[in-house]
Amino acid sequence: PRPLSLSLSLSLCSVFIFIFPINIVKPKIHGVLRFTIPTHFSPSYSSSSSPMPPNFYRLCFFPFLLCFSFIPCFSLDEQGQALFSWKSQLNISGDALASWNAANESPCNWLGVKCNQKGEVSEIQLKGMDLQGLPPVTILRNLKSLTSLTLSSLNLTGGIPKEIGVFPELKALDLSDNSLSGEIPVEIFRLKKLQTLSLNTNYLEGVIPTEIGNLTGLVELMLFDNKLSGEIPRSIGELKNLEIFRAGGNKNLRGEVPWEIGNCENLVMLGLAETSLSGRLPASIGNLRRVQTIAIYTSLLSGPIPDEIGSCTELQNLYLYQNSISGSIPATIGGLKKLQSLLLWENNLVGKIPTELGNCPELWLIDLSENHLTGNIPRSFGNLKNLQELQLSVNQISGTIPEELANCTKLTHLEIDNNLITGEIPSLMGNLRSLTMFFAWQNKLTGNIPGSLSRCGELQAIDLSYNSLSGSIPKEIFGLRNLTKLLLLSNDLSGSIPSDIGNCTNLYRLRLNGNRLAGSIPAEIGNLKNLNFVDLSENRLVGIISPEISGCESLEFLDLHSNSLSGSLLGTLPKNLKFIDFADNSLSGPLPPGIGLLTELTKLNLAKNRFSGEIPREISTCRSLQLLNLGDNAFSGEIPEELGLISSLAIALNLSCNGFVGEIPSRFSDLRNLGVLDISHNRLTGNLIVLSDLQNLVSLNVSFNDFSGELPNTPFFRRLPLSDLASNKGLYISNGISTRPDGLGSSTPNTSAVKLGIAILVAVTAVLVLLAVYTLVRARVAEKRLLEEEIDSWEVTLYQKLDFSIDDIVKNLTSANVIGTGSSGVVYRITIPSGETLAVKKMWSKEQSGAFNSEINTLGSIRHRNIVRLLGWCSNRNLKLLFYDYLPNGSLSSRLHGAGKGGGVEWEARYDVVLGVAHALAYLHHDCLPAIIHGDVKAMNVLLGPQYEPYLADFGLARTVSGNPNTGIDLSKQSNRPPLAGSYGYMAPEHASMQRITEKSDVYSYGVVLLEVLTGKHPLDPDLRGGAHLVKWVRDHLAEKKDPSKLLDPRLHGRTDPIMHEMLQTLAVAFLCVSNKASERPLMKDVVAMLTEIRQTDVGRSETDKVKSGGCGSKEPQLMSHEKIISHGSSNCSFAFSDDSV
């Protein structure tokens, strides 16, 4: 279509031509039509002519002038008109194409347009504009001389037009970084002269066409960051001139790296990262003599690295991390003289680190973390003069730290934690003047910490925790002005804390706990304005808590428990403190009123000291306080009413073993969130009526006081153990309370009820038996039919090396091998010819492709130690099969409710299971991008490994979603997906009310599993009173103030008090999870934190377990962003400190 102005001018000119016979002189020159007026229309006319007044000529000449004013619309040539027409169809923001003016004769001077010597458009290069429209190919088909078309970052949408193949001279096509969708049209591969094809960073789907092999002149092929699927076509080997091939970021790209890739001998860059490519790296990779970068990380590669890799003599960067590569690191890599970066972390590599790596003089980054490597750190590493980062964490490396490492004077990161390294830290480490990070925690190091480390002036973080280091802390360490983190916990260090600590002004985190440090806390610590976290607990420190500590204005965490500190507690503590633990010392004197200034305080533990006097009323201004422990002191006077004003007190209030007198303050009735109250061993009087309203109490101890009167008439008090009420001579229990509420009545109604129940049970049993027989008969018929069918057209994808044929699997899909059923299929236990046992899930029907694809898309792209591992899958028109690791101990449900109920029911085992499942869900919700909702969390979907380690399974209902996992995930925006549904008894209330389904729905289901583990009852247990659901049964029990311990599985009774305390606290966590309102349920990462807090686990467990679970796109923790060059894809070991609270 022509522009409006052009149409208008043509109409006017037509009128003019009708009035006057204007001569049009040809040819057309640059699109300009030349007009001439016949001479007989000259203003001077003869008398013989027809008489016409002069005004008439003026009137007739006006249309001509009007027409002439529109002539510029004719000035633009045909190619310019095509470009201008495309511009008119765009929704352009701003004046991006302001230079595209229809008044120009030619578009050759327009922005982004270049012409050849003939004035024909040869190049279009537009980048970084918001044009918002469709690609212009159908409009620009007349640009036959076009050699380069770049339309990058323009916000173009729609599909790539098939007409793209009409540019015979096109050498470069760049449509990258738009929002293009659909498949790659095969017509592109008719462009025989094409050298560069960039379609990356779009939403393209479908497979990479095999016709790609037709572009034999192709030099660059960029397909990364799309939604492409299928396999890399073997025809890729026809591209002999190909130098750059990048197809990473296509999660559904599967199959093996084709052997034919070795035919692309000019390849310089091979990028296939973050895909589902599996199998071995082909030996033909050795043919790539010019390749400089091989990046196939975060995929599913297995098998060994081929020795032929050593033939890639130009290789500079080898990125194969986060795969399942096995075998040893080939020694041939040592022949790669130009190698700069070697990233092999998080694989299954074994054997020794080859000494030949020391022959790669250009190496600056080595990361072999999270493998199974053994042997010593090669001394040849000392030859690597350019080495900047050496990361060997989480292996089984032994031997000593070689002194030769001191020759690597450019080294900035040395991470060798979580190994079996012995011996002393070499004093020559002081030669590493560029070192910024030194992690050697969780080893078997001995000897002293060398003072020579002080010469490493750039050091920012030192973590030598969990070793057997001895001697004193060298004072020179505190001369490191850049040091922010010093972690030396759980060693055998002695001596005093040097006063030089005050020089370390950038120190942010200090952990020296669990040693034998003596002396006093130096006053100079008050110089550390940036100090945020201090843990000096479990040492032998003496003296007072210096008032100078108030100078640590950024301090939030202060733990000094289990020392021998004395003196009074001054009211000059840092105002930002959130955690104080001074328990188990010899502190004395009154608690200062200044304690009320700590308005951010959440936990205050002063137990087992010698504090005296009254509790200052100013403590009521600590409005964030959740835990207050003043037990085992010498406090006296009355308990202040103001304690009842701290509504945030939810964890515990302990005032036991003091000298308090008087009555319980009436304000205590306002502590409705309090879980634990201990006021035992005082001299309190009065009654306990004020406590009857504390509905969240799970533990109460009032023993050894002088309370009197009738015990509150509530189920909670009725169930209190006598030991928690002992030595209160005036307390008594009324006969009404001691009378059983379920007294004996007439036996006739009970007998009738029993008979009715038996009749119903028999009827139901008969129906179930008939259904079972019918199901077995149908299953056998189906199995026979499947076995008799011709098995063809199998599509098979394996993520691990497995030696079997499809026949080996199909012939064993019999009822005798069934081990369980799930929401989407039946699971068989099958042993393949190699002797390995697999769990094979057969989908219920061939139509159930949604669940099948969900399992593949979810489990195929994630890995976590508590999530079942998908080994592969296969399908044809009749069957869809999934292969998993076989887990021998069944499910959590079978352990709790099955015939063998006696096994694996100890609380410790149950706790480990629920904590593992919590870690798995927290990983799905918070570490995966996009976040994943499991959708069917239940005890049957928690499988147990050989050591009863838990694995979350059955992802048939899982969904990957977009949105912030911390604020909820709105599935309503995904109209193309069915709503999530779970298993009855575990589904959150929002399923029934058609509210939006978020990650909080998984939290509810998890809470039901927690209750199931604690009570030993199925959510739909028929024995529950009134046929109630488990959640309602628990809720009613607690609402009636009954003893919470009576909710616990009888098999868990008789445990020690600490264990009972753990179980009751876990019950409180479960109660939070099953809140009817999704907004009131905690996040799974908070559930993990609460469960971990309940059991004070070994703080030596590395953050590695949580941070480095890999796949789906794992988030980098922003702890020390300046310490790691993330762009190089190095592992997260830099962020894994020895203490969980980092």
DSSP secondary structure, 1043-1090, as one string: -GGGGS-GGGTT--HHHHHHHHHHHHHHHHHT-SSGGGSPPHHHHHHH
Exposure on the CB side of residue 93, measured as CA atoms within 13 A: 8
Where does the pLDDT of residue 632 fall: very low under 50, low under 70, confident under 90, or very high at 90 and above?
Answer: very high
Would you say 842 is a known binding-site residue?
A: yes
- Same domain flag for 642 and 719: yes
Q: Tell me the three state secondary structure of residue 245.
A: strand
Say how far residue 747 (Cα) sits from the centre of its chain.
Answer: 60
pLDDT at 752 over 80: no
User: For the chain, percent helix, then strand, then coil, each to nearest 5?
Assistant: 30, 20, 50
CATH number of the domain that residue 1024 is part of: 1.10.510.10
Q: What percent of the chain has pLDDT over 90?
A: 48
Residue-wise pLDDT tens digits, 998-1032: 889 999 999 999 999 999 988 888 778 777 789 98
Residue 877's pLDDT band, with cuts at 50, 70 and 90, is confident
For the segment 688-693, the average pLDDT, to the nearest whole number, is: 90
Token couple for 617: 């009323």
Higher confidence at residue 475 or residue 15? 475
**1025 lies in a domain?**
yes
Residue 625 domain-assigned (yes or no)? yes
Q: Which of 18-32, 427-441, 535-549 is predicted least confidently?
A: 18-32
Question: What is the CB-side half-sphere exposure of residue 630 using CA atoms within 13 A?
Answer: 23
Supply the pLDDT for residue 799: 67
pLDDT, average across residues 601-625: 93
Give the containing element (helix H, strand E) for 637: strand 634-638
Binning pLDDT at 50, 70 and 90, where does residue 992 land? low
Coil/strand/helix, residue 214? helix
Instruction: Give the mean model confidence (pLDDT) for residues 218-227.
Output: 96
pLDDT at 1025: 76
> Does the pLDDT of residue 1068 top 70, yes or no?
yes
More confident residue, 239 or 828: 239
827 pLDDT tier (thresholds 50, 70, 90): confident
Examine the pLDDT at 311 and tell me if it is beyond 80.
Answer: yes
Q: Is the predicted pLDDT of residue 1137 greater than 60, yes or no? A: no
Q: What CATH number should be reported for the domain holding residue 656?
A: 3.80.10.10
Regarding whether 811 and 782 lie in a shared domain, the answer is: yes
Question: Which residue has better confidence, 868 or 848?
Answer: 868
- Residue of 568, 570, 602, 572 whose CA lies nearest to 585: 568
Which of 615-629, 943-957, 1109-1123 is least confident?
1109-1123
Are residues 725 and 840 located together in one domain of the fold?
A: no
Amino acid (1-letter code) at residue 951:
Y
Sorting pLDDT into bands at 50, 70 and 90, what band is 695? Answer: confident
Q: Is the pLDDT score of 52 beyond 90?
A: no
Q: What is the pLDDT of residues 85-111, one digit of tens each?
A: 888 888 887 778 888 888 888 889 899
Tokens describing residue 643: 């304690």
Q: Closest by alpha carbon to 313, among 352, 364, 360? A: 360
d(C-alpha 139, C-alpha 82), whole Å: 6
pLDDT of residue 861: 64
Domain boundary among 20, 48, 75: 75
Q: Tell me: pLDDT of 489 over 90.
A: yes
CA atoms within 13 A on the CB side of 27: 2
- The active-site residue out of 367, 584, 936, 1002 is 936
* pLDDT > 50? residue 1132: no
Question: Which position has the higher pLDDT, 921 or 1045?
Answer: 921
Residues 652 and 680 placed together within one structural domain of the fold: yes
pLDDT computed for residue 255 by the predictor: 94
495 found inside a domain: no
Q: Can you tell me the distance from the alpha carbon of 1001 to that of 997, in angstroms, rounded to the nearest whole number?
A: 6
Cis peptide bond N-terminal to 27, omega within 30 = yes
Buried b (16+ CB within 10 A) or exposed e, 30-58: eeeeebeeeeeeeeeeeeeeeeeeeeeee
CA-based nearest residue to 1133, from 416, 375, 273, 320: 416
Residue 136 lies in a domain: no
> In the predicted model, what is the mean pLDDT of residues 664-673?
91
**What's the pLDDT score for residue 822?**
60
Is the distance from CB of 1131 to CB of 367 less than 8 angstroms?
yes
Q: Are 694 and 829 within one domain? A: no
Which of 885, 919, 938 is the C-terminal boundary of a domain? 885
Model confidence over 190-203: pLDDT tens digits?
999 999 999 999 99
DSSP 8-state symbol, 281 = P
Most confident of 29-33, 309-313, 788-792: 309-313
Cα–Cα dist 215/231, whole Å: 18
Ranges 265-274, 849-858, 1069-1078: which has the least confidence: 849-858
At residue 1122, the pLDDT reads: 27
Asked if residue 528 lies in contact with residue 503, where contact means CB atoms within 8 angstroms, the answer is no
Tokens 């802390």 locate to 473
The predicted pLDDT at position 4 comes to 37
Q: What are the Cα distances from residue 645, in Å, to 32, 590, 595, 670?
A: 90, 21, 15, 7
Residues 675 and 557 in one domain: yes
Instruction: Average the pLDDT over 659-686 and give the result.
Output: 93
Q: Check pLDDT > 80 for residue 142.
A: no
**Cα(528)–Cα(504) distance, rounded to whole angstroms?**
7
Per residue in 337-356, pLDDT (tens digit) is 999 999 999 899 999 999 99
Q: Is 524 left (phi over 0), alpha (psi -120 to 50) or beta?
A: alpha
Q: Give how many domains the chain has, as a whole number.
A: 4
Helix (H, G, I), strand (E, B) or coil at 1104: helix
User: Per mean pLDDT, which range of 25-34, 175-184, 469-478 is the poorest?
Assistant: 25-34
Q: DSSP characters for 560-610?
A: --SSEEEEE--S---TT--EEE--SSEEEEEPPGGGGG-TT--EEE--SSE
* 672 and 531 in a common domain: yes
What is the predicted pLDDT for the residue at 219? 97
Task: State the pLDDT at residue 826.
Answer: 82
The reported pLDDT for the residue numbered 239 is: 96
Q: Is residue 635 part of a domain?
A: yes
Q: Quickly list DSSP for 514-559.
A: SS--BSPPPGGGGG-TT--EEE--SS--EE---GGGGG-TT--EEE
User: What is the rounded average pLDDT of the residues 114-130?
Assistant: 90
**Domain stops at, among 855, 885, 915:** 885
Question: What is the CA angle 2-5-9, rounded to 5?
Answer: 100
- Give the strand order in the sheet containing 157-159: 157-159, 179-183, 203-205
Buried b (16+ CB within 10 A) or exposed e, 88-117: eebebeeebbeebebebbbbbebebbebee
Segments forming the whole domain that contains residue 804: 771-885
Q: Residue 831: is its pLDDT beyond 70?
A: yes
pLDDT greater than 90 at residue 34? no
pLDDT of residue 823: 55
More confident residue, 817 or 271: 271
Whether residue 176 is contained in a domain is answered as no
For residue 268, what pLDDT is reported? 97
Is the pLDDT score of 65 beyond 50? no
- The pLDDT assigned to 860 comes to 67
Average pLDDT, integer, range 713-719: 80
Q: What is the pLDDT of residue 138?
A: 63
Which of the four pLDDT bands, split at 50, 70 and 90, describes residue 61?
very low
- Indicate the range of 242-256, 505-519, 621-635, 826-840 predicted with least confidence: 826-840
Q: What is the DSSP letter of 980?
A: P
Domain check: are 707 and 809 in the same one? no
- Respond yes or no: is residue 936 known to be catalytic: yes
> Average per-residue pLDDT in the chain?
81
- For position 54, what pLDDT does the model report? 43
Angstrom distance (rounded) from CA 849 to CA 828: 19
Please, are residues 69 and 62 in contact by the beta-carbon 8 Å criterion? no
- Looking at the DSSP assignment, which residues form a beta bridge with residue 173? 149, 197
Q: ∠ CA 241-243-245 to the nearest 5 degrees?
A: 115
Q: Is residue 1039 predicted with pLDDT exceeding 50?
A: yes
Residue 847 lies in a domain: yes
Q: What is the mean pLDDT of residues 644-656?
A: 90
User: What is the Cα 350 distance to its own chain's centre?
Assistant: 27
Q: Once rounded to an integer, what is the mean pLDDT over residues 505-516?
A: 94
Q: Are residues 692 and 841 in the same domain?
A: no
User: Same structural domain for residues 636 and 577?
Assistant: yes
Is the same domain home to 936 and 818? Answer: no
Dump pLDDT digits (tens) for 517-574.
999 999 999 999 999 999 999 999 999 998 899 899 999 999 999 999 999 987 678 9
pLDDT for 426 equals 96
Does the pLDDT of residue 855 top 50, yes or no?
A: yes
In this prediction, residue 716 has a pLDDT band, given cuts at 50, 70 and 90, of confident
Pick the residue with more confidence: 212 or 713?
Answer: 212
| Residue 981 predicted with pLDDT over 70 | no
The confidence score (pLDDT) of residue 25 equals 36
| Residue 781 confidence (pLDDT) | 55
Q: What is the pLDDT of residue 71?
A: 40
Pick the range with the lowest mean pLDDT from 439-448, 923-932, 980-989.
980-989
649-653: average pLDDT: 87
* CB atoms near residue 788 (< 10 Å): 8
Instruction: Report the first-to-last Cα separation within the chain, whole angstroms.
Output: 65
pLDDT digits (tens, 9 = 90+) for 359-411: 999 999 999 998 999 999 999 999 999 999 999 998 999 999 999 999 999 99
Domain for residue 748, yes or no? no
Residues 6+ apart with CB under 8 A from 1086: none
Residues 918 and 1057 occupy one common structural domain = yes
pLDDT of residue 450: 96
More confident residue, 222 or 1049: 222
